[in-house]
């Protein structure tokens, strides 16, 4: 009989996040919704007057910001209620209602940016020099930098209204992937049927029993294969809407538009792909080593996640995971550790899997409220690392929110993965140093090498796939199932090399990647990993300048560009050296594994 997943009501309260800290009740949620609905009407009073004076413009920006802050809080609450159990239609409706309200606000405020941009340059220069607008100067300068890409007031209103439609592919994917898609049960190591879920797949694919890995792999991708045409059409819709907005705003590509939104030069993206391509011989060497160590005649894609050390099995309770993380992150100081303890003890975290719970893990933060973490802890080392990773996001958010106003608290996506990955690296380094024997050390060194494979190389593969599909669609090529699967197969062949059998099931992996619906996001895992590797190594070496710079970085929000923020820690992301430095560490790990084997 298949092992069942608990219902939400069966999870202990202390293992669920405390959403009441965000919004105390559904009644309060409705009150806030009504308040925003009323406040949206006030936008019209500002129309045509933003150039009257610096003080008037400041009043508008303060008002607009307050509406946005409440909408962000409402969306965070609705999204988290939905994600804790996606089968509850009432929670799905909450998200839809907030999105619709946000679209109303966007439409009502759509006059503002074109109106601000129409203020004569000389007058705007006076505004920017005035004390009234000192707080908003950086925000206004960022808007002025996009002047060439802004449209007329009428056109902006149309695009704002269309944004509700443009989010459909992402919404469709989320419901399909988390609520509707089902997988065939498989037999575990004991011959008993177990359900295959998104959360359990990670554990099954690491099984020492190859038949379990293969069965889970096939179960997962057989389901995606059935819907490949549908998912391809949905993904193409997502790509097309991205390209549509880029064309409307006169960008040379969707990538240029999305990277500009985060103030990232495109050469950062190109440097990453080039550096990773140059390092592919190391990936091929790793695959050859894995194949030899596993003593298999063929290395399949379902063999890549099994820990290499035979008979090394270790699981962790949730409490043990917390204690381990606290020990590993001691180099960051007592203040950081106290924030972690606060999160662990005060229900910031939704810990375990339940029926209908969104797959994967994330940290979410609404301004003025402590951050939250969603995950599905299953006792594996990967779960411990996930907890450290997501709490890295949360503490980064806490520092940014505590040290910046709402205007500048929300850090850019480009730097979002630095703090989280730094935590992971510190944890693995601690565990390697504390290893009790050669076998345990080899296992942990292999785990860190796997972080390179899955975060630097695999995310670069995703980034290359995404960029290629956007270019194809931009030039009028239909993104059919066969094209997408073929492209994905070719990239896997190139990245994993001739030592690896590129099973046809893996051709459908692109169908299950949620971040493809967050345009040009995935490359930042790879760049963030590279930056985090440099920061962690320097902090562990006792570099106080890097440590001090790291906390300035955590507190910086978006008060500077991402590139400027990382320069506080001594890293220049516009040069290839940061990624190349990470690649050298990967080589050292391969050398160490070969020596320990």
**Distance of CA 42 to CAs 21, 45, 67, 399, 558, Å?**
29, 6, 10, 33, 28
**Relative orientation angle of helices 266-278 and 523-540, to the nearest 10 degrees:** 80
**Contact criterion met (CB below 8 Å) for 406 and 367:** yes
- 72 to each of 68, 413, 417, how far by Cα in Å? 6, 16, 21
Residue 177 tokens read as: 């992937």
| DSSP string for 405-464 | -HHHHS--HHHHHHHHHHHHHHHHHHHHHT-SSHHHHHHHHHHHHHHIIIIIIHHHHHHH
Which three-class secondary structure state does DSSP give residue 38? helix
Q: How many CB atoms lie within 10 A of CB 489?
A: 17
The answer to whether 359 and 198 are in contact (CB under 8 A) is yes
Question: Cα angle vertex 222, ends 211, 465, to 5°?
Answer: 105
Q: What is the Cα–Cα distance from 324 to 426, expressed in whole angstroms?
A: 11
Secondary structure, 3-state, 322-368: HHHHHHHCHHHCHHHHHHHHHHHHCCCEECCCCCCCCCCCEEECCCC
Asked if 459 and 427 count as a contact pair (C-beta separation under 8 A), the reply is no
φ/ψ (deg, to 5) at 529: -60, -45
Provide the sign of the torsion angle of the four alpha carbons 451, 455, 458, 460, taken in this order. negative
| SS3 call for 46 | helix
Cα-Cα end-to-end distance for the chain: 39
Q: Examine the residue annotation and report whether 390 is marked as an active-site residue of this protein.
A: yes
From 156, 236, 390, 424, the catalytic residue: 390
Quick one: CA dihedral 275, 276, 280, 281, positive or negative?
A: positive
Listed in sequence order, the residues at least 6 apart from 22 whose beta carbon sits closer than 8 Å to its beta carbon are: 73, 76, 77, 80, 366, 369, 372
Q: Are strands 193-194 and 299-300 parallel, antiparallel or unpaired?
A: unpaired
Helix-helix angle 381-403:334-345, to 10 degrees: 110
Helix (H, G, I), strand (E, B) or coil at 315: coil
**How far, in Å, CA of 387 to CA of 373, rounded?**
8
Residue 579 in tokens: 């990624």
Question: How far is Cα 294 from Cα 359, in angstroms, rounded to an integer?
Answer: 30
Distances (CA, A) of 496 to 70, 364, 504: 47, 34, 14
Token look-up 């011959």 returns 191
DSSP class of residue 3 equals: B
Residues catalogued as catalytic:
390
């Amino acid at each position: 009989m298949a092992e069942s997943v608990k219902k939400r009501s069966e999870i202990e309260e202390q293992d669920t996040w405390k959403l009441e800290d965000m919004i105390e009740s559904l009644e309060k949620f409705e009150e806030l919704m009504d308040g925003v609905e009323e406040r949206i009407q006030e936008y019209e009073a500002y129309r045509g007057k933003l150039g009257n004076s610096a003080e008037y413009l400041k009043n508008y920006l303060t008002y607009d910001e307050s509406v946005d802050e409440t909408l962000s809080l409402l969306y965070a609450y609705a999204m988290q209620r939905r994600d804790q159990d996606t089968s509850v239609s009432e929670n799905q409706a909450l998200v839809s209602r907030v999105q619709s309200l946000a679209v109303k606000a966007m439409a009502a405020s759509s006059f503002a940016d074109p109106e601000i941009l129409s203020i004569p340059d000389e007058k705007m220069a006076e505004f920017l020099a005035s004390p009234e607008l000192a707080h908003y100067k950086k925000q206004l300068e960022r808007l002025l930098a996009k002047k060439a890409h802004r449209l007329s007031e009428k056109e902006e209103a149309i695009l704002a209204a269309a944004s509700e439609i443009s989010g459909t592919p992402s919404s469709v994917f989320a419901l399909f992937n988390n609520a509707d898609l089902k997988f065939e049960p498989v037999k575990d190591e004991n011959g008993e049927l177990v359900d295959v879920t998104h959360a359990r797949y990670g554990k099954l694919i690491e099984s020492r029993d190859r038949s379990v890995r293969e069965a889970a792999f096939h179960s997962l991708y057989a389901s995606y294969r059935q819907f490949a045409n549908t998912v391809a059409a949905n993904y193409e819709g997502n790509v097309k809407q991205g390209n549509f907005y880029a064309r409307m705003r006169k960008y040379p590509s969707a990538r240029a538009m999305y990277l500009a939104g985060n103030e990232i030069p495109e050469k950062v993206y190109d440097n990453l792909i080039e550096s990773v391509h140059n390092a592919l011989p190391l990936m091929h060497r790793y695959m050859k080593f894995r194949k030899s160590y596993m003593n298999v005649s063929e290395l399949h894609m379902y063999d890549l996640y099994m820990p290499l050390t035979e008979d090394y099995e270790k699981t962790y309770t949730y409490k043990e995971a917390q204690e381990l993380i606290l020990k590993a992150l001691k180099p960051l100081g007592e203040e950081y550790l106290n924030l972690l303890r606060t999160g662990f003890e005060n229900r910031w975290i939704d810990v375990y899997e339940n029926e209908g719970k969104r797959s994967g893990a994330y940290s979410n933060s609404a301004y003025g409220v402590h951050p939250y973490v969603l995950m599905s802890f299953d006792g594996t080392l990967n779960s411990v690392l996930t907890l450290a990773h997501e709490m890295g996001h949360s503490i980064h958010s806490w520092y940014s929110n505590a040290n910046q106003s709402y205007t500048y608290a929300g850090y850019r996506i480009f730097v979002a993965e630095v703090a989280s990955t730094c935590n992971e690296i510190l944890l693995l380094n601690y565990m390697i140093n504390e290893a009790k024997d050669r076998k345990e050390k080899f296992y942990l060194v292999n785990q860190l090498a796997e972080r390179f494979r899955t975060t630097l190389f695999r995310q670069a593969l995703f980034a290359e796939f995404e960029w290629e599909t956007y270019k194809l669609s931009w030039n009028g090529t239909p993104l059919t199932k066969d094209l997408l699967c073929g492209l994905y197969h070719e990239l896997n062949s190139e990245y994993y090399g001739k030592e690896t059998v590129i099973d046809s099931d893996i051709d459908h992996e692109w169908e299950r990647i949620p971040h493809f619906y967050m345009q040009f996001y995935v490359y930042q895992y790879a760049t963030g990993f590279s930056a985090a590797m440099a920061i962690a190594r320097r902090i562990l070496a006792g570099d106080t300048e890097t440590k001090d710079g790291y906390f300035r970085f955590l507190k910086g929000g978006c008060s500077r560009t991402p590139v400027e923020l990382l320069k506080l820690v001594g890293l220049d992301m516009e040069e290839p050296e940061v990624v190349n430095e990470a690649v050298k560490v990967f080589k050292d790990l391969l050398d160490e594994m070969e020596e320990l084997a």
